[in-house]
Amino acid sequence: MTEWTNWFQQQLKASGDSLIWAIERLDTSLHLELPPDAEYFGSWHPVRHIWHITLYEQLVAVPSMMQWLGDPAIPEIEWDDGDSRWETVEDKSAASLTAVFQEVRQQQIELLPQFKPEDWARTLDTVWEVQPLSMVVTKTFQHTYEHADPLLRMGLWWKPDA
C-alpha cells in the first residue's frame, strides 16, 4: 500500500460514519438506558460509547498523532472515563455528543495530509510503547469499531417496551 494518507482518511471517515449510523439505528428513548443484556450489548448507556471514544481521541489519539509533527510525547495518560466522570457530563444528548465526536474525528482526518510518507513507518515512543504512526491511526479506527459493534447490536435487537 503506497497511498497511506488517502487510505487512512477513508478508514477514519468510514469508521466514524459507522459509529453515527449505529447510534441512529437505536430508538432515541434508549440512548440513556442501560441495555438489558450486558453480555451481548455491553454495560454502558448507548451514548456513553460516543462520549468514551471522543474522550479517547481528544486525550490520546490527537496528541499522539501530533508527536509526528513535532509535539512532545504525551505523558503517561490517566484519563478518567469512569462512572463518576460520566455523571458530570452535562449534555448527554446523542446530537451533542456525536457533534463533538465528528469535530474531533475531522481534526484527525485533516492532520493526515501533513504527514510525510516516511512518517507512517517511523517509530516514536508512544503511550503504547514504541510504535509507528500507522499503528496509532489504526488503533483509532479499531477502537471506533470496537464500540460501534455493541451499538449496532443494540440498534438491531434492542427495542423499547411497547
pLDDT in tens, 119-146: 999 999 999 999 999 999 999 999 999 9
Query: In the CATH hierarchy, which top-level class contains the domain 47-75+91-156?
Result: mainly alpha
Q: Is 75 exposed, middle or buried (0-12, 13-18, 19+ CB in 10 A)?
A: exposed
Rounded CA Rg of the chain: 17
Question: H or E element: which one contains 129?
Answer: strand 129-132
Mean pLDDT of all residues in 17-42: 96
The pLDDT of residue 2 is 62
Place 49 in a pLDDT band, splitting at 50, 70 and 90: very high
Nearest-angstrom CA–CA distance, 5 and 135: 13
| Grid cell listed for 97 | 455528543
* Contacts with 139 (C-beta within 8 Å, 6 or more apart), sequence order: 61, 128
**pTM confidence score:** 0.94
pLDDT of 86 > 50? The answer is yes
Mean pLDDT of all residues in 76-85: 80
